[in-house]
Amino acid sequence: MDKVVVISFGGQYAHLIARRVREAGVYSEILPYTEATPDRLRELGPSALILSGGPASVYEENAPSIDPRILELGVPVLGICYGHQLIAKLLGGVVARGKGEYGRTLVRIVSRDPVFDGWGDEEYVWMSHADYVAEVPGAEILAVSENGYVAAYRVRGRPIYGVQFHPEVRHTPKGVVLLRNFLFKVAGARATWRVEDLAQQLVEDIRRRVGPGEKVLVAVSGGVDSTVTAVLVKRAVGDRLVAVFVNHGLLREDEAEEVLRNLRRVGIEPVYIDASERFLSKLEGVEDCEERRRIIGEEFAKVFKEVVEKDPAIRWLAQGTTYPDVIESGAAAGADRIKSHHNVAALPSWLGLKVLEPLRNLYKDEVRRLGIALGIPEEVVYRHPFPGPGLAVRVIGRFTREKLEIVRRASRIVEDVLRAHGLYRSVWQAFAVVGDDKWVGVKGDRRSVGYIVTIRIVESEDAMTADWARIPHEVIDEIARRITTEIPQVTMVTYAVTTKPPATIEPC
């Protein structure tokens, strides 16, 4: 099976690159730059290398880099953003600080090359950089941006390319075309891989790692990630699965009953623990979202510890961690922490469990495809993503139970209206957010000062980028009218129209 290795420098889209390669039918692996040695790459035997973007500057002290001998392996190389700049630097070129390019940018092809087959003379791409390549010795410039920066080059006589833009994101319309050109026309890779074929490999990996007689605690939430994880673990270890569903009081309306029902449908009988009061009492009055995430992560660990103390055979904790969780938590080498996730970076050492994360290199759409292949019902597979800390991250400012109930009820209204109009499955995520701001209103001919609720509905494929959903105005109107009518404390409803980036999907 042909293989592409993506060398990660901690960029937000490192695994998105790998996912685009997989979508093309070529198996891909992520290798942190700290592990990317010539010997390791010879061992892996890739058909091609892709160097990812990253948050650093190539001239920063201790900036991520690779051994220059990697460029001498004779393997086709594509550098993207930071990778594009790093190749230039390693070859003796010049990288400088410019005014930057962010978002939609026009580039002009100045020299034709197989990687740009299918591109017009001018195309829009997605840029996100401050540094730029000022000089690349021994390379031919293939494209320049509307601001005059080098947008793409090829090292003369060698299959080594650099592109300043991000071909892996959907905001670069012809980006997938470029990646496929690189894979098939430059590297000669073959399309022989499907995510559906991964299930048995993951089961065997779990079975290999878990020792005889050892039990695995799986934290299940009812979402597709934890459900797929639980099904994989059950297939691997059978009755040694201990599924635990913790109700932290931050679930959506009627969600606990729905989760229990859906888990039983796939043959999993969870241990149900209602820990609502212990979580909410610790969150009351906490303003900082990161602190809330820490509290929730710690409390989850305490609950699991109590379960483990009753059954010492439990030696593993399996979680439905996916790559967006990992990269946003800064758990990948070179990555910048955007927000912590309690199932990635906040598990205390005193928990004493070894961790299984079979999905940590997959994106949501891949997990869904895997779920369908495992026979999990579609209504479970296609439930909207829900954060581990639950509604706690949809309350901005001081956390109160009143605001929690407002956001719980408002989110239910959003989902109900979308379902009624047949729009629920067509969007990635839809929910309500409430903060401390208030708006003067009029209800029943009387002055009413109430909360502002913001509706967030987005379209996405993988949660790494997202766009606000252009749903019909009459649907937004119905949502707003129902919220202000059915929730007395609310006088104003707004609609969020910012993409990711620069915003994240969840408010905090």
pLDDT tens-digit profile of 243-274?
A: 999 999 999 999 999 999 999 999 999 999 99
- Among the listed residues 12, 169, 168, 150, the one whose alpha carbon sits nearest the alpha carbon of residue 84: 150
The answer on pLDDT for 397 being more than 80 is yes
Single out the residue in 161, 186, 211 at which a domain terminates: 186
Could you tell me if 94 and 131 lie in one domain? yes
Single out the residue in 333, 349, 381 at which a domain terminates: 381
Going across the sheet that includes 354-356, the strands are 271-274, 241-247, 215-219, 314-318, 354-356
Catalytic annotation, pick one of 101, 123, 168, 506: 168
Q: What mean pLDDT, rounded, does the chain reach?
A: 92
- Identify the CATH number of the domain in which residue 262 sits: 3.40.50.620
Q: Supply the pLDDT for residue 10.
A: 85
Single out the residue in 315, 347, 381 at which a domain terminates: 381
Q: Supply the pLDDT for residue 110.
A: 97
- Whole-structure pTM value: 0.74
The answer on pLDDT for 324 being more than 80 is no
How far is it, in rounded angstroms, from Cα 330 to Cα 268? 32
The answer on pLDDT for 92 being more than 80 is yes
List pLDDT tens digits, range 44-66: 999 999 999 998 999 888 999 99
- Among the listed residues 297, 317, 304, the one whose alpha carbon sits nearest the alpha carbon of residue 357: 317
Q: Into how many domains does the chain fold?
A: 3
Catalytic annotation, pick one of 23, 81, 129, 171: 81
Catalytic annotation, pick one of 15, 129, 166, 171: 166
- Domain contains 507: no
Could you tell me if 220 and 329 lie in one domain? yes
Helices (H) and strands (E) in the chain, counts: 14, 18
Q: Which residue has the higher pLDDT, 444 or 467?
A: 467
How far is it, in rounded angstroms, from Cα 402 to Cα 408? 10
Could you tell me if 162 and 222 lie in one domain? no
Distances (CA, A) of 385 to 267, 284, 325: 22, 25, 12
Q: Is the peptide bond before 507 cis (omega within 30 degrees of 0)?
A: no
How far is it, in rounded angstroms, from Cα 310 to Cα 293? 26
Q: Is the peptide bond before 502 cis (omega within 30 degrees of 0)?
A: yes
pLDDT-based confidence at residue 478 (cuts at 50, 70, 90): very high
List pLDDT tens digits, range 209-249: 999 999 999 999 988 999 999 999 999 999 999 999 999 99
Is 508 tagged catalytic?
Answer: no
Could you tell me if 33 and 118 lie in one domain? yes
The answer on pLDDT for 204 being more than 70 is yes
Is 248 tagged catalytic?
Answer: no
How far is it, in rounded angstroms, from Cα 279 to Cα 281? 6
Helix (H, G, I), strand (E, B) or coil at 240: helix
Q: Which residue has the higher pLDDT, 362 or 395?
A: 395
Q: Supply the pLDDT for residue 342.
A: 46
- Domain contains 49: yes
- Domain contains 503: no
- Domain contains 355: yes
How far is it, in rounded angstroms, from Cα 87 to Cα 64? 12
Domain extent for 477: 400-495
- Domain contains 459: yes
Could you tell me if 226 and 364 lie in one domain? yes
- Identify the CATH number of the domain in which residue 490 sits: 3.30.300.10
Is 35 tagged catalytic?
Answer: no
